[in-house]
Amino acid sequence: MSAALLRVEDVVAGYGRPVVGPVSLDIAPGEVVGLWGANGCGKSTLLNAIAERADLLAGRILRRPGLVIAYQEQTPVRLPSMPVTGRELLRFAGASMQDMPAAIHAVSGRRIDRLSGGQYQLLCVWAAIAGRADLILLDEPTNNLDPEREALLLEMLDPSRLTRRDASSAQTVSDRGVLLVSHERRFLEDACSRVVAIA
């Protein structure tokens, strides 16, 4: 696989029957890759196949050995009554609170069932980005976001956030990647190092 985190080779995926494919793509460390296409073309199904939540009907998905994946669905699950604070959720997710954006820090002490949809969405994205995952899968992360919060999401997806300190050399290395789905082409062009179109 060379240095790729993930390689998708002629993948056809679905739920008992094909929904998407064939699709091929690679994700290298330090990359933010976008999947773009019309609603219903199978972008989310491809993410689900990578996360082993959909059927792989043809082709291959090769993961770097030991790859840890974080996956955020289109609508992050939130129970109607959940007496857990944002800070506790981040702790449960193993996410760092260091360098947390001020807007997320400001609501992190509140119960997550009292956050707005946009606040909760950003908290969940931060949990994925600031966690231990090597590959972060984000399905429609702009859901529930107003223009101000969408701008904050762009900052959170900056490739500099994909770096970690190498314990052996004490140097910073970009060894993580992001694959995100959106039907908003402009957002993808602003957020991603490249965009893959799904027909």
- What pLDDT score was predicted for residue 169? 46
The CATH number of the structural domain formed by 6-197 is: 3.40.50.300
Nearest CA to 143 among 187, 195, 87, 97? 187
CA distance 138 to 62: 19
- What digits encode the pLDDT tens for the residues 81-105? 778 999 999 999 899 888 899 999 9
- Average pLDDT across the chain, whole number: 89
Lowest mean pLDDT among 68-77, 156-165, 186-195: 156-165
Sheet with 69-72: list strands edge to edge: 69-72, 135-139, 177-182, 32-36, 194-197
Rounded to the nearest angstrom, the gap between the alpha carbon of residue 139 and the centroid of all alpha carbons in its chain is: 7
Residue 162: φ, ψ to 5°: -90, 5
Nearest CA to 57 among 25, 9, 16? 16
Q: With bands split at pLDDT 50, 70 and 90, how would you rate the model's confidence at 162?
A: confident
User: Which two three-digit tokens encode residue 62?
Assistant: 């090769």
CA distance 127 to 92: 9
Identity of the highest mean pLDDT range in 56-65, 108-117, 118-127: 56-65
Statement: residue 38 has pLDDT above 70: yes
CA distance 166 to 177: 16
CA distance 151 to 186: 12
CA atoms within 13 A on the CB side of 25: 24
- What pLDDT score was predicted for residue 175? 84
Statement: residue 75 has pLDDT above 80: no
- Is 144 buried (19+), middle (13-18) or exposed (0-12) by CB count in 10 A? middle
User: Which two three-digit tokens encode residue 85?
Assistant: 């604070």
Instruction: Please give the average per-residue pLDDT across 153-179, as a whole number.
Output: 73
Instruction: Please give the average per-residue pLDDT across 114-132, as a whole number.
Output: 91
User: Any residues with CB less than 8 A from the CB of 14 and at least 6 apart, and which?
Assistant: 20, 42, 45, 54, 55, 57
Return the bridge partners of 70, or none. 136
